[in-house]
Amino acid sequence: MNEFYQDEWVWITGASSGIGKELVKQAYAQKAKILLASRKTKDLEQIAKELGLEKGRYAVEKLDLENYKLVSDFAKRSLKKYGIPKVVIHNGGISQRSLTKETSLATMEKIMNTNFYGAAELTRSMLPEILGKKPVHFAVISSVAGKIGSPLRSAYSASKFALVGFFHVLRAEEEKSGIFVTMVYPGFIQTNISKNALMGDGSSTGKMDSVIESGLPVQLCAHRILHAVANKQREVVIAGIKEKFGLFLQTFLPSIFFKMIQKVKVR
């Protein structure tokens, strides 16, 4: 067991399913105290019961990242109740499966608000309360789509690129003040992300992508995130051969990459 997490508060957004739920399970197994945050507090309480979380070692707080102008209230309330956390894992988010020309402005706003503005505002509103008081490690779940633009994911990819820019700047500005940032780039992970992804009109697809279904196990993804944080890695790519090959091509053979990405099946 890594003692990095022992008796320390770890805040996890989007804790009600997928990677977030597995992070709760594995961080708790490493003796962390967990703040579970999402819109679905009933689901969070059920997860706490299911995982056997003990009173005093976990807390549940409602957090609607899409309504980002109220996120600072969550930050102030949680800091007052639980103190400054050792780790904040920005995991909450929503994906997309629609062509740009078919995607409404409202859908783009929902994705950007949830994936980018919510995480950015939570972090920004915490800074006055934590800088110079205690080191805080932010683990930010971007995506391989935050490095590669792929069809059907224009707003999603934009939101994940935005996270990278924001937290790279924060790292440059405040690492000397105790703010450490780990950028996480998952590829295809076995979660319900594609089922919950938004179509152009804002409705959910309800469908599992074959590449997601055959992706890496969520248990492996969560393990590697927690390992990267404990070992102070600034970046970690958690992906299969296909996604890593795409990253390689984009970096070293971009002309070939762009020809290949245009051939991705969109329907």
Supply the pLDDT for residue 119: 98
Supply the pLDDT for residue 41: 94
Taking the model in full, what pTM does it have? 0.95
| Three-state DSSP state, 137 | strand
Distance CA 132, CA 177 (A): 6
| Three-state DSSP state, 68 | helix
| Three-state DSSP state, 253 | coil
Q: Give me the sheet containing 136-141, strands edge to edge.
A: 58-62, 33-38, 9-13, 87-90, 136-141, 179-186, 235-238
Token pair, residue 159, equals 């939101």
Of 62, 39, 36, give the one whose Cα is nearest residue 49: 36
Radius of gyration of the chain (CA): 18
> Would you call 28 a catalytic residue per the annotation?
no
One-letter amino acid of 50: E
Supply the pLDDT for residue 144: 97
Backbone phi and psi for residue 262, each to the nearest 5 degrees, phi listed first: -70, -15
Distance CA 205, CA 198 (A): 6
Distance CA 263, CA 250 (A): 15
Residue 78 exposed, middle or buried by CB count within 10 Å (0-12, 13-18, 19+)? buried
Of 11, 144, 131, 182, give the one whose Cα is nearest residue 81: 11
Domain 9-240, CATH 3.40.50.720 — does that match?
yes
Distance CA 228, CA 220 (A): 12
HSE, CB side, 13 Å, CA atoms: give it for residue 109. Answer: 5
5, 28, 156, 185: the active-site residue: 156
Supply the pLDDT for residue 214: 85
Supply the pLDDT for residue 192: 87
Domain boundaries, given as residue ranges, for the chain: 9-240
Distant-in-sequence, close-in-space partners of 248: CB < 8 Å, separation ≥ 6: none
- Residue range 68-92, pLDDT digits in tens: 999 999 999 999 999 999 999 999 9
Distance CA 239, CA 188 (A): 6
Please list the ranges in the chain whose pLDDT falls under 70.
1-2, 266-267
- Contact by Cβ (8 Å): 205, 192: no
One-letter amino acid of 172: A
| Three-state DSSP state, 84 | coil
Token pair, residue 247, equals 């990253």
